[in-house]
Chains A and B, each alone.
Chain A
Amino acid sequence: MKNEYQKAAAILCDLLELDDATKIKISEQIQTIGIVHFLENPGAFDFDPEVREKLQTLYLIMRYIQTDKITDGFPEDGGEA
Chain B
Amino acid sequence: MAYDGEHTSTFIKGLALLTGLSIRKARQYAKDNSLFNILEHPQTITPNDKQLEKIGLLNEFISSYNVLKMHEEQERIKLDSSLKAGQYFLCLMGGMKDKERFLVAFLDSGNNIIETKTMSVGTIGQAVVYPRDILKAAIACDCKSMILAHNHPGNSIIASSEDKMLTQSIVDIFHPLEIKVMDHVIVGGNQYCSMAEKGYMPDSTRAAASYEAITLGKDTAAEECVVRQIDDGEEWEV
Interaction A to B: yes
Which residues of A are in contact with B by a Cβ distance under 8 Å? 1, 4-5, 7-8, 11-12, 14-16, 28-30, 32-37, 39, 41, 43-47, 53-54, 57-58, 60-62, 64-65, 68, 71-72
Cross-chain contact of A15 among B13, B36, B54, B68 (Cβ < 8 A): B54
Contacts of A34 in B (CB 8 A): 68, 72, 77
B179 at the interface (CB under 8 A from A): no
Cross-chain contact of A44 among B69, B93, B190 (Cβ < 8 A): B93
Contacts of A53 in B (CB 8 A): 17
- Is A44 touching B61 in the complex (CB atoms < 8 A)? no
- Is B18 touching A15 in the complex (CB atoms < 8 A)? yes
- Is B95 touching A44 in the complex (CB atoms < 8 A)? yes
B236 at the interface (CB under 8 A from A): no
Which residues of B are in contact with A by a Cβ distance under 8 Å? 1-3, 7, 10-11, 13-15, 17-18, 36, 54, 57-58, 60-62, 64-65, 67-69, 71-72, 77, 87-88, 91-96, 98, 116, 190
Contacts of B93 in A (CB 8 A): 44
Cross-chain contact of B64 among A11, A32, A71 (Cβ < 8 A): A11
- Bound Cα distance from A50 to B5, whole angstroms: 26
Contacts of B94 in A (CB 8 A): 44-46
- Is B15 touching A46 in the complex (CB atoms < 8 A)? no
- Is B64 touching A57 in the complex (CB atoms < 8 A)? no
Cross-chain contact of A35 among B68, B87, B116 (Cβ < 8 A): B68
- Is A11 touching B68 in the complex (CB atoms < 8 A)? no
**CB-nearest residue of chain B relative to A9?**
B64
- Is B65 touching A8 in the complex (CB atoms < 8 A)? yes
Instruction: Kindly name the residue among A29, A44, A60 whose own CB sees the greatest number of chain B CB atoms within 10 A.
Output: A44
